[in-house]
Structure 1
């Protein structure tokens, strides 16, 4: 990824020191013993490569803290990273399944986990590891994958996440053996992913995700969508800055055109990527598919002219969804995708607007041909006159929303 600078690195060091100090404060006897024996200097405590001792985490809930695991502990829970424990592989490295409990460390609650191991031959792995620890270590939200812990021992870099039983959205949409996702599930997944992005964009210090795609949207046992893989995330512009200038990174087919051309990154770049994923949910097609005729290989190029045309719009809906949705719901979802994919970044909606637009399409709101279930004949929230519905077209306000939509849970920064 691009230059993360030292801000992320310093944040990881500081966070590690804070966790260590918290544990020592909660165990004064151990603290006194450590002082007496001078077993660990202050530089040891602030060094993220210093392994934490097992007894330091007694009675500390894994749901409140990011745990510094030892390499031995992670080898134990993955059976020495056995091949049949592999969940998947990516640019960062290999992901293994595991299970933590009190047998691993006293005080840990029983929990299945996913352990991601840095590929030592990768060029960007360490920086991406730092970025993930920095962002996911601070952010908590129901639609972000929870970072449980990490390991930074010698040249080993690992991350431990909550285990997501249903795997990636990509597999559910495009794997040939997968059961087709119903319309209701697709709209629910779109809403959950939108809430995750809205949380990042509306955080006290905004975060740009930069790699929003179906393979990075994971599903739990209830098909709740959660964003994962924050290795390419960037801190958003601050003060009078309008964008972040960075080396172009991401995935072909999802990246916003202005970002690809200029390297100027904004929250609206994520909105474009969301539009691509929403289009994949609506059509059942991949963003880039070389197996299709040349004119249909780029999903956006193929679908965009039809999205705002009532007569052709239903031609792009996944044929596997026949009879599961109302024409009205399809029009609204396609109209939302159309605006998210605008080549003019300022014409794209905010992610908080996207959340509010998707809310009426959940449950009964997406299946009926009349009211949306919220008592509004238009099927869209009022937004106090800042957005109007004309026919099936949604007009979004161009000015930022001063506060997060009530539909978006508050993003807590620890």
Structure 2
């Protein structure tokens, strides 16, 4: 969206235009407005911290609720990743991607401004000290996975590899609609016949695909692998690194008895076996050691939608 805020002195290289032809100026917001929106970045507006820096909530002068990601000078993430985030989100628009409101690069600052997501990230609703008192239902988890898969499928059809898919990078709005975030290390596939990108390995241990971790070969199937880890987090409500039981499920055909043993006990009794099997088989295929044996994100999306359909008789029969 175009910004109505005043222009500032350029500090981003080649700031007149991005590689996709989207003017940087359309998104530039003065620092004074962000300072005002957060009461001088008061700690009471602090909502989290990642590799880029601290995240604050705020309200702009026009009443828009925003999340501000402020770069930490000690962070390893650079101006290149700052620019990449702006580039990707200024040409990619989808209901399941976060919306970029703008950015600020005044006073040696690098600040990214997004729509505020009321319900935080997916991980916080699955496990951790800040876990809500009410566990998400299986149907709700399926719908979140489907929405995230739609966002990733959209990226892949636009030849964008996210490169950092994880449960903390799936945000939830006030209606628990999922939106993919954090595009600083994303890559685009420039050639239609290009099979992979050779690049430095970045991302989080526990989510990185084997071929990417060992050989630096990045493809869309690398995202599929990472998303498979997220699917198991959703199913088990456990961290990605706690995967000893998950990896024991690699043998085919999938054993329902094994799968049932690792399901989050708060929802286990409410999942139809057919829905659980479809979801589990899909997640297992995403984690195939060889990228050629993994499904496309479009196939994953279809299977997840089918898993929800298989659960729907339970939804209709439930008097609540």
TM-score over 0.5 for the pair: yes
Do the aligned partners of 1:11 and 1:134 also contact (CA within 8 Å) in 2? no
Range moving further from structure 2, 321-330 or 269-278: 321-330
In the other structure, the counterpart of 2:145 is 190
- The count of corresponding residues between Structure 1 and Structure 2 is 302
Do the aligned partners of 1:303 and 1:316 also contact (CA within 8 Å) in 2? no
Q: Deviation per CA, 1:174-216, whole angstroms, max 9, x where unpaired?
A: 124423211011101110110010010001xx10000000000
| SS of equivalent to 1:95 | strand
In the other structure, the counterpart of 2:171 is 218
Question: Aligned partners of 1:345, 1:114: CA distance in 2, in Å?
Answer: 35
Map 1:12-411 → 2, pairs under 5 A: 13-15=16-18, 66-102=26-62, 110-176=63-129, 177-178=131-132, 179-203=134-158, 206-289=159-242, 298=244, 300-305=246-251, 308-362=254-308, 365-368=310-313
Do the aligned partners of 2:272 and 2:310 also contact (CA within 8 Å) in 1? no
Give ranges in structure 2 of 5+ residues lacking alignment.
1-11, 315-320
| SS of equivalent to 2:184 | coil
Give ranges in structure 1 of 5+ residues lacking alignment.
1-8, 21-47, 53-65, 103-109, 290-296, 370-414
* Shift in Å, 1:96: 0.6
| SS of equivalent to 1:14 | coil
Question: Aligned partners of 1:11, 1:135: CA distance in 2, in Å?
Answer: 16
Q: Deviation per CA, 1:76-113, whole angstroms, max 9, x where unpaired?
A: 111110010001011100111111134xxxxxxx3100
For the aligned residue pairs, the C-alpha RMSD in angstroms reads 2.3
Q: Which structure has the larger Rg over C-alpha atoms? A: 1
In the other structure, the counterpart of 2:8 is none
Do the aligned partners of 2:33 and 2:61 also contact (CA within 8 Å) in 1? no
Do the aligned partners of 1:287 and 1:299 also contact (CA within 8 Å) in 2? no
* Shift in Å, 1:10: 6.8
Q: Deviation per CA, 1:33-74, whole angstroms, max 9, x where unpaired?
A: xxxxxxxxxxxxxxx6xxx7xxxxxxxxxxxxx521011111
Question: Aligned partners of 1:163, 1:299: CA distance in 2, in Å?
Answer: 36
Do the aligned partners of 2:51 and 2:77 also contact (CA within 8 Å) in 1? no
Structure 2 length as normaliser, TM-score? Answer: 0.88
Structure 1 length as normaliser, TM-score? Answer: 0.69
Question: Aligned partners of 2:290, 2:179: CA distance in 1, in Å?
Answer: 28
Question: Aligned partners of 1:243, 1:17: CA distance in 2, in Å?
Answer: 21
| SS of equivalent to 1:164 | coil
* Shift in Å, 1:154: 3.8
Question: Aligned partners of 1:16, 1:240: CA distance in 2, in Å?
Answer: 20
